[in-house]
Structure formats: C-alpha cells, structure tokens
Amino acid sequence: MSAEPGVGPADQLPAGIGGAAKRSQVFAWGLWDWGSAAFNAVILTFVFSVYLTDAVGDDLPGSISASSWLGWSLGIAGFFIAVLAPISGQRFDATGRRKLSLAVLTGLTVLSMSGLYFVQDSYHYLWLGLVLLAVGSVIFELAGVPYNAMMRQVSTPENIGRVSGFGWAMGYFGGIVLLLLCYFGFIVGDGDTRGFLGLTTDGGFNIRMVALLAAVWFAVFAIPVFLKVPELPTSDADPGAAKAGFLDSYRVLWRDLRELWTVDRRTIYFLIASALFRDGLAGVFTFGAVLAVNVYGIAAADVLLFGVAANVVAAVGALVAGRFDDRIGPKTVITVSLASMIVVGSVLIAVSGRLMFWIFGLALCLFVGPAQSSSRTFLARITPPGREGQLFGLYATTGRAVSFLAPTLFGFFAWAFGADRAGIVGLVLVLALGLVALMAVKSPEQDVSNS
C-alpha cells in the first residue's frame, strides 16, 4: 500500500494528498473500517435491530408495531444526517480538526452502542433503544465523513484505488468475523442459555452483551488511526468556512455549490449519479435475505451462511477492483460493475431454486464491493484539495436524499406483479438509472490525459 515508484514525497503533493502513505498508516486507517462493522453489521442490521423489533417491542401496546417505530426513528436520523453532513465536513476541513472530529464522533458512537446494554427485553425499554440507535446512526454517519476524507492523506493519486478497496474489504471482513463471534459465542442454541459462553437470555442479557462486545470492538480497532495518521493542517481552501456559525455554514455551502456548478459541474453530476446507483447497491443487501427465503427456498437458518459468503465475495471484489481502479480509472470499474449487476440481476428474475440463487446471488455481490469502493475514489480524485470533508458530506447527503428509491420500487413491482421475485426489477431499474447518469460524467483520468 506504500506509494508507487515515481510518486514524489508528500510535501510535493497538494495539501491533504499523500500526507501519510506508509503501509502501517494505511493499515491503521483500514482498521477503523474493520471496527466500524460492529455498528453497521451487528447493531444496525443483523442483531440488535432485530432484538428491538422481535423481542423488546414484541408485546408493544397499540396498533403501531415496533418495526414501524424503528423505521420512523431511522428515517428521522436520516434527515439529520442529510442536513448536518455537508456543513460538518466543511468545518472539519477548514479548522484542521479532521482527525480530532473523527475521534470525538467515534467515541460518541461507542458510548451510544454501550448504552444499548441497558435495553432490557421489555417494551418499556423500546424507546431507549430506538433513541440510542437513531442517535448512534447520526453520529456514526457523520464520523464517516472525516474518515472518507482522510483517504487522501493515506494514499497517493497512483494507489488511491487500492487503498479504498482495502478499506472496504476490511469493513466486510471485520463484519464477518464479529458476526461469527457473536453468533457462536452469544446467540446459537435453544433454551434459557445461549452460545458457547452459556449466557442467560433473561432480560435479553445475551444480546445486551453483544452490544457491549460491539462497542469494545469498535473502540479498540479505531485507536490505531488516531495514533498513526497525522492531523490535517488548517486549510484556506474554503474561505470563511472556519469562522462561520451554524447558519452561515449553509451560506458558505451554497456559495461553494454555485462555484462548483460554474467551474466543474461534473462534481454535481457525479453526486447525483452515485446517489442513484449507491441506493441500488444498498438495496441488493437490504432485500437479499427476503428474496433468499421467500423466493429461492433458502432455509432461514442458512441465510447467515449466505450473508457471510456474500460479504467475503464482495470484499474480494473490492480488493481486486482496487488495482483496476488505479490502472484504468474508477469510472470504468463502476460502469463494468453496474452493467454486470444488471445482467446478473436480470438472470435472477428468470431462474429458480437454491443452487441458482447461490450462484447468481454471489455473482451479484461480487460487483457490489468494486462499485462502492470506486465510487469513493472517483469523488476523492475530483475533489479540490482541502475540500474533501465538505464533498464527502455532500456525498452522504445526496445518498440519503434518494435512499427511498430502491425500497419503493422493490415494493411497487412486488405489489404490481403479486410476487416478491418481481421486486428485483425495481433494484435493476435503480442500478440502470445510476449507470445512465454516470455515463454523462467525465472520468478523472480524462483530466490527466488532457493536461
């Protein structure tokens, strides 16, 4: 992961690029991704959110289900993420506190995860769980802004694709390892005690201990990036941003967007295109388990095994694609990945049976990692030096703005044709829209060839 031959020293590169390109620093940066899987995979997706809806809120009085409350709480969280992300990243850049901000936000995320230990198996604790999950989601997503912006500090223009792919792969593998530890240590089995540790299920104790383990996991693996990667120096790349108050920050943001529209509309176009196809990529994992069980006959007990295999395949895809990203550019990697997913998804609509789902479902996941990783490097390559936080904040905001699209289209086609299988059409359509929008965006490598 070190800088390639022919790349000048960090002090010859623009501020914020290649400031720390040693292997140990890249590895430390990737460990944050490894640790952050504790929130994404364990807390938000596979374990604690399920505990909240299926156990804590199972006997919730009233006509509104715990699942509905969960959806609404995360929807409110998404609104705050969309509103706060761009101005937060803008301030992190201008004040030269990118690493400090990442440390504070990571610490607050860990605290919110630790607080979930107190959410006992009773509907009286549902509100505590929902608040902690929603607040944790906001803080965690905001932490991703300085983390993604830091990618330029641990890479050079020649190896940023490999660095990004390494980070994504670390996130996938970290999630797999922790999920397996949680499953076999705390969850597997029947009766009043679960897992190899024999923890009691009374009051949801075994799942509450999973939350504590996840918090410790994130905290431990986040530490190296704060020790190895230097703080970003104060930048004047965005005049007025450092001293702007809360409302003034939006004025600075609007000024910068107008400037981008005038000078280089490609950034705006890419943010829109990536928001579309990233929503399609998220939909693949969101509805994968539903399709596996309801359409292709995968046993519910085997869904976790497919999930592990899917994450391994996606991680390998991200690692391999990182090298192609550096050689042929991120746009080509994303284009090939999206086109391949559209083809494979179309085949999935026609085939049936467990074996076909394992083959084509994993083939679909193979291209998810490359598209996600190269999307991040595309934005990093076209972002003006010193404005990484602001642009990755907008990256988070635009992603949230269209996050309704894939779930809505999946539900519409499933309803219109009276079959969950038809929901795949909705996912394929979102990926196709993202691909079409991307085709109009000039690739970063064209800048190099034209210079």
- Per-residue confidence band for 207, with pLDDT thresholds at 50, 70 and 90: very high
pLDDT for the residue numbered 288? 78
CA 345 to chain centre: 22
Q: Is residue 16's pLDDT more than 70? A: no
Report residue 295's pLDDT band, with 50, 70 and 90 as the boundaries. Answer: confident
Weakest mean pLDDT among 11-20, 379-388, 434-443: 11-20
Q: What is the pLDDT of residue 236?
A: 58
Paired tokens of 37 = 């899987």
Question: Each residue of 31-75: pLDDT tens digit?
Answer: 999 999 999 888 987 788 888 988 898 888 988 888 888 888 888
Task: Determine which of 180-194, 267-281, 293-307, 418-432 has the lowest per-residue pLDDT on average.
Answer: 293-307
Mean pLDDT, all residues of the chain: 86
CA angle at 196 for the pair 193 and 201, rounded to the nearest 5°: 20
* CA angle (110, 41, 210) in 5-degree steps: 60
Name the residue with higher pLDDT: 224 or 88.
Answer: 224
Neighbours of 232 (CB within 10 A): 26
Q: Would you list the DSSP string of 23-47?
A: HHHHHHHHHHHHHHHIIIIIIIIIS
**pLDDT confidence of 170, banded at 50, 70, 90?**
very high
Q: How do residues 220-234 score in pLDDT, each as one tens digit?
A: 999 999 999 887 766
Query: Could you give the CA distance from residue 204 to residue 206 in angstroms, rounded to a whole number?
Result: 6
Token digits of residue 224 = 């190296």
Give the least confident one: 105-119, 210-224, 253-267, 273-287: 253-267
pTM of the model: 0.83
Distances (CA, A) of 134 to 34, 137, 164, 251: 22, 5, 27, 28
pLDDT, residue 251, reads: 80
Between residues 74 and 181, which one has the greater pLDDT? 181
Is the pLDDT assigned to residue 425 strictly greater than 70? Answer: yes
| pLDDT value for 11 | 40
pLDDT attached to residue 237: 53
Q: Which residues contact 440 (CB under 8 A, 6 or more apart)?
A: 269, 273
Task: Please check the confidence at residue 377 and state whether its pLDDT lies above 50.
Answer: yes
**pLDDT value at residue 367:** 94
The 10 Å Cβ neighbour count of residue 92 is 28
Residues 249-271: tens digit of each pLDDT? 778 778 878 887 887 789 999 99
**Confidence category of residue 122, pLDDT binned at 50, 70, 90:** very high
DSSP 8-state class, residue 176? H
pLDDT at residue 162, as a whole number: 93
Q: Could you tell me what percent of the chain has a pLDDT over 70?
A: 89
User: Does the pLDDT at position 2 exceed 60?
Assistant: no
Q: Between these two residues, 90 and 377, which has the higher pLDDT value? A: 377
Assess contact for 139 and 81: CB atoms under 8 A. Answer: no
Q: At what angle do helices 368-382 and 330-350 cross, to 10 degrees?
A: 150
H, E, C per residue of 295-319: CCCCCHHHHHHHHHHHHHHHHHHHH
pLDDT above 70: residue 301: no
Task: Find the mean pLDDT for residues 1-15.
Answer: 39
Mean pLDDT score, 324-334:
94
Segment 167-184 mean pLDDT:
92
